[in-house]
Amino acid sequence: DTGVSQDPRHKITKRGQNVTFRCDPISEHNRLYWYRQTLGQGPEFLTYFQNEAQLEKSRLLSDRFSAERPKGSFSTLEIQRTEQGDSAMYLCASSPWPVAGIPTDTQYFGPGTRLTVL
């Protein structure tokens, strides 16, 4: 099963360190999304790519956060100078190109990367 994969699954870091997460979407899905989920809450949208273009960014995505999708396939999310408030589950999702008559807006989620900032 070639679902959405994320690496690493868990990351523990010290405050002030930089961390980078990777997401591999479902093959041929041209849309890729990042969400953040804190304990006991629903996911919150961070950013969205269509192919390699970053088309939307949430205000939650401070200047310490940067996301890339250089070749329109996998994506990375980097957090610089981590803070304890960055501790959360970071979820990646992908969806296919819209095709007339077929509901392709469904987003398929990966298992997430759980970040703990000490």
Partner 1 sequence: AQTVTQSQPEMSVQEAETVTLSCTYDTSESDYYLFWYKQPPSRQMILVIRQEAYKQQNATENRFSVNFQKAAKSFSLKISDSQLGDAAMYFCAYRIKAAGNKLTFGGGTRVLVKP
Interface with partner 1 by CB under 8 A: which residues?
3-4, 31, 33, 35, 40-45, 48, 55-56, 58, 91, 95, 103, 105-112
Minimal distance, residue 117 CB to partner 1, in Å: 20
Q: Which is nearer to partner 1, 82 or 115 (CB)?
A: 115
Q: Which is nearer to partner 1, 89 or 117 (CB)?
A: 89
Q: Which is nearer to partner 1, 82 or 93 (CB)?
A: 93
- From the list 43, 30, 16, 105, the residue with the least C-alpha distance to 74 is 30
Question: How many Cα atoms occupy the beta-carbon half-sphere of 101 within 13 Å?
Answer: 0
Minimal distance, residue 15 CB to partner 1, in Å: 26
Which residues 6+ apart lie within 8 Å of 71 measured at CB? 52
Minimal distance, residue 53 CB to partner 1, in Å: 12
How many angstroms separate the CA atoms of 90 and 36, rounded? 5
Minimal distance, residue 86 CB to partner 1, in Å: 19
For residues 110 and 5, the answer to whether their CB atoms sit within 8 Å is yes
